[in-house]
Amino acid sequence: MKTKIRSTRRQFLKAAGLTAAALAAPPFIRHSRAAGKLTVGLWDHWVPGSNAVQEAIIQEWAKKNKVEVHVDFITSIGEKLQLTITAEARAEDGHDIIMMPTWHPTFVRNRLEDVGEVIKAANKEYGNYTSVADYLFKFDGVWRAVPAPTGSHNYPIVARLDLFKQHAGVDLQKVFPADVKKRNKKLVDAWTWENFLGYAEKLHKAGVPFGNPIGQTTDSQDWLGPLSLSFGSKFVDEKGNITVNSDGTRAFLEYMKKLTQFMPSEVYAWDDAGNNRWIISGRGSAILNPPSAWTVAKRDKPEVAAQLWHCDVPIGPKGHFRGSLPYGWGIWKFGKNKAAAKDLLMDMSTKKNVFRLITASQGYDMPLAPKLLTHDAWIKEGPPEGTQYNYPVRGDETIIVGCMPAPAPIAAQMYNQAVIPNTVARVCAQGQSIDEAIKWAEQELQGYLRDV
């Protein structure tokens, strides 16, 4: 239910024409009432009804502004959305507005229009976006995409209330109640990766292990990236230096050697739906995932859904991080109606319309502006009532994307090639020494830096 990105780095870089010089953006025209046409390509949302609400918002704007708008909903199955983005960038022809998965604004940044005016209007209404938005969508001081709530999500722990209480002795609703004001600091502070290892061992012995993929999948990156950083491991630092050979990386890999002993052996072969199927089946006790697993369980296994609770990610010795996968709306520089496109994105970014999108997604969509996290969907959704309350960050977790803090063009390549999961797999599945795996990672990373 989440996008996979598997094309090679060279294919993306060449297809997107990233070596071309950026063109100066034309002046922004605030009004689009001169009519005309507009084409919009959006991700085909998996939650029933979400597409209809997006279409309604767009057509309401179109009627008001006398603009003819055609909307295409493009599936990510078979990477059709990603391939569409790459093809349009290369041909310099296609939709005026195109919705992009996390790393694609990085790949095609020199083909995207400056959308700073849209960002400025959104910031004026409800404040700044998080630093992740700057990291993914802003290059050399210029905004190249607008954070889209639709499709954007993050990765909390999703755990079985009954199994954790019975086998691990942890009352998750007491640790993470559906009211941040009722949190007990002592209980929250004890929610560490070190203690989680003990819980995982007990749950494994009870026959209901914790499970999450470790392979070339987005879900693999989005829990292992934050986990490695929480141990102080930076495969590449903020300045683009290769720093994988560190005490932090060794501590992270030592931890994974212990944790994987208590995980299903097949996690190395799981795709992005593997962890969802694991928890829905009733055989698993916990995963890291947005509410998609709970939503499907509510439909197919309501007895399982009634026991699922979304919680903070455990705390590491060097920090507290949660993974995310935001989407962005981009406007091509070669678009035929850029003024209207910017006006439409302003309208879609208003609080009123963002809230409509969150409601339509049943709380799955997660905006990148903290002041938009007041929607009551995360309070009311159930069963159990309050299960999604801690899906928005309520405590001190820092939202990141996998492979941060490496500069985004480097991190995008690291992510696409799954360097962190592959390093883990070399140690935990293939039996390589930690030093051997680190040496392999260094060699891989050197290739990524040469391509930037």
Q: List every span in the chain annotated with CATH 3.40.190.10.
A: 9-152+325-374, 154-323+400-451
CA 155 vs CA 83, 183, 365, 449: distances in Å: 25, 20, 12, 28
Tell me the per-residue pLDDT of 434-445, one tens digit each, with 9 for 90 and over. 999 999 999 999
Tell me the per-residue pLDDT of 108-150, one tens digit each, with 9 for 90 and over. 999 999 999 999 999 999 999 999 999 999 999 999 999 999 9
> What is the pLDDT, as a whole number, of residue 150?
95
> What is the pLDDT, as a whole number, of residue 4?
36
Q: Which two tokens stand for residue 79?
A: 């990477």
> What is the pLDDT, as a whole number, of residue 447?
86
Neighbours of 142 (CB within 10 A): 15
Helical pair 338-348 and 50-65, crossing angle rounded to 10 deg: 130
Return the CATH number of 154-323+400-451, one of 3.40.190.10, 3.50.50.60, 1.20.1440.130, 3.40.50.2020: 3.40.190.10
> What is the pLDDT, as a whole number, of residue 380?
86
> What is d(CA 346, CA 417) in angstroms, rounded to the nearest whole number?
35
Residues of the chain short of pLDDT 50, as ranges, are 1-34
CATH architecture of the domain 9-152+325-374 equals 3-Layer(aba) Sandwich (3.40)
Nearest to 384 by CA among 297, 324, 319, 447: 297
> What is the pLDDT, as a whole number, of residue 448?
80
